[in-house]
């Protein structure tokens, strides 16, 4: 049985799905999968379902949802509900836990690949890091739990954590490709990312650097000016000193901005 949360919620075996159609049980399943192998407290599940004002019948209703999930999983796995309760969706003191085998949940694979990429990057092995980051990002099939809405506070927190991780890994992956001399390759991604994340100075710095290394110094300076205008007009702020230093380096064609493909361990000046 495999499950995914990096996009639409899925859980199943072959063509058989263990995802309920009703939204509240889907929320319960989502939290259990996000914390697979760990106990999710009843209070967290109740907060997800009903916020700060759960009904008096809340605990009983939650138990009904758990029983429904166990029945679905029993059908998917072809095993008795009692066995599912013992081995798959367990009752533990204070809450419930979903037991998922190694490599059976996309978010676990994602985290393992990110850790592999970071370890390789720290060891100066950019090519291995690049492969790991690419594989990690390829697991995403859309926004996390895109079809489980609206999120209560517990799911909001988990989804926000995942989406922040996705953005960070995207930035780390681009940094790695820049180290490998892939400035032309990352231009289209960065052009889209700076539109989506209008005030993300790290992405703007990478975009300016990639443009400069691609022989587009004027465009790099235009990108900086566009960000500065938006920040001063909308936020009343100037770009960071790091980004200002990068702009000055582009203006004078600082040789430290140059990068030979394959040169190990040389990060962007703005980093």
Q: What is the pTM of this model?
A: 0.89
CA distance 189 to 35: 31
The Cα angle at residue 154 between residues 152 and 157, in degrees rounded to 5: 105
CA distance 122 to 241: 26
Structure confidence at residue 139 (pLDDT): 98
Structure confidence at residue 259 (pLDDT): 61
Structure confidence at residue 102 (pLDDT): 86
Contact 265, 121 (CB under 8 A): no
Contact 206, 178 (CB under 8 A): yes
Radius of gyration over alpha carbons of the chain, in Å?
Answer: 23
Share of the chain above pLDDT 90, in %: 92
104-115 per-position pLDDT tens digit: 999 999 999 999
Which of 179, 145, 160 has the alpha carbon at shortest distance from 258? Answer: 179
Low pLDDT (below 70) residues in the chain? 259-271
Structure confidence at residue 258 (pLDDT): 82
Q: Is 19 left (phi over 0), alpha (psi -120 to 50) or beta?
A: beta
Structure confidence at residue 167 (pLDDT): 97
């Amino acid at each position: 049985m495999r499950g995914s949360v990096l996009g639409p919620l899925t859980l199943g075996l072959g063509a058989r799905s263990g995802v309920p159609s009703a939204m509240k049980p889907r929320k319960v399943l989502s939290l259990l999968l996000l914390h697979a192998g760990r106990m999710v407290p009843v209070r967290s599940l109740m907060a997800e379902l009903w916020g700060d004002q759960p009904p008096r019948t809340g605990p009983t209703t939650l138990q009904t949802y758990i029983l429904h999930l166990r029945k679905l999983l029993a059908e998917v796995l072809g095993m008795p509900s009692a066995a599912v309760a013992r081995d798959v969706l367990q009752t533990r003191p204070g809450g419930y836990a979903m037991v998922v085998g190694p490599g059976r949940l996309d978010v676990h694979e994602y985290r393992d690949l990110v850790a592999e990429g970071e370890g390789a990057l720290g060891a100066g092995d950019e090519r291995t890091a690049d492969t790991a980051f690419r594989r990690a990002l390829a697991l995403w099939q859309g926004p996390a739990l895109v079809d489980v809405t609206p999120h209560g506070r517990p799911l909001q927190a988990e989804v926000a954590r995942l989406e922040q991780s996705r953005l960070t890994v995207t930035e780390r992956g681009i940094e790695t490709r820049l180290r490998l001399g892939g400035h032309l390759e990352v231009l289209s991604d960065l052009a889209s990312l700076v539109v989506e994340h209008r005030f993300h100075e790290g992405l703007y710095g990478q975009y300016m650097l990639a443009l400069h290394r691609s022989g587009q110094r004027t465009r790099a300076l235009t990108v900086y000016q566009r960000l500065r205008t938006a920040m001063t007009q909308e936020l009343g702020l100037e770009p960071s000193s790091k980004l200002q230093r990068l702009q000055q380096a582009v203006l004078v064609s600082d040789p430290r901005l140059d990068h030979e493909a394959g040169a190990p361990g040389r990060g962007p000046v703005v980093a």
